[in-house]
Structure 1
Amino acid sequence: MTYLKVKRIHPVPDQPVSTYSELDDERWELRKVEIFPDGRILYADPDVEFEETGLSTMPYPSFEEIATNPKYDAKVISNAEFEKIWAMATA
């Protein structure tokens, strides 16, 4: 598993400011949490799509591809950090 946090450098009102993703070995999203500028925290997993948040319909780009995009600050995070944000989102 890979866990990513992707933060948008210049937030857009209707787009998430941060996205946390759990990816399998083929880079498919298994779970996702999105935090919006207005404070909403939405999530998705294979069984639940909360409001406009859903899992990607294609494999996630490589970390290098995301990290070189000047619109985003991407970081690999730990399972524990992902589980903390997941618990907050699903509480």
Structure 2
Amino acid sequence: MKYLKCKWIHDFMNEPTIIISEIDENRFETRKIEIFRDGKFGLAALNLEYMNTRLGEVPLPDMDEQFEVQSISSQEFNEMWRDKIQSFIRLLKD
């Protein structure tokens, strides 16, 4: 697995500004976190879609100049994933 944190440089109000993806050896997303300007977030995994966040249906392409991409560790990804899942569970309870 590889882990990417992408800052998406754009002016769209309803699109995420940060996309954090876990991708397999064929560059398919297996888990994804999207973070929006207002602090809201979306999650996607094989059995989860929250806030209209979905896994890509094709391999993740190379990123262009609209994205600032950095590799992150599996530990970093998993810490962010756990944090967002816990927030998601709290939202479901409210």
Relative to the length of structure 1, the TM-score reads: 0.88
Distance in 1, matches of 2:36 and 2:43, equals 11
Aligned partner of 1:85 among 77, 80, 85 = 80
1:11 CA drift (Å): 4.5
Distance in 2, matches of 1:48 and 1:79, equals 20
Q: 1:12 is paired with a residue of what secondary structure? A: coil
Give the 4+ runs in structure 1 shifted more than 2 A: 9-12
Q: Is there any run of 5+ residues in structure 1 with no aligned partner, and where?
A: none
Q: Is there any run of 5+ residues in structure 2 with no aligned partner, and where?
A: 87-94
The answer for the alignment partner of 1:72 in structure 2 is 67
RMSD after superposition = 1.0
Compared with structure 1, are the counterparts of its residues 51 and 10 closer, same or farther at alpha carbon in structure 2 (3 Å cutoff)? closer
Distance in 1, matches of 2:66 and 2:33, equals 19
Q: How many residues align?
A: 86
The answer for the alignment partner of 1:32 in structure 2 is 32
Relative to the length of structure 2, the TM-score reads: 0.86
Contact 1:11–1:17 (8 Å) recurs in 2: no
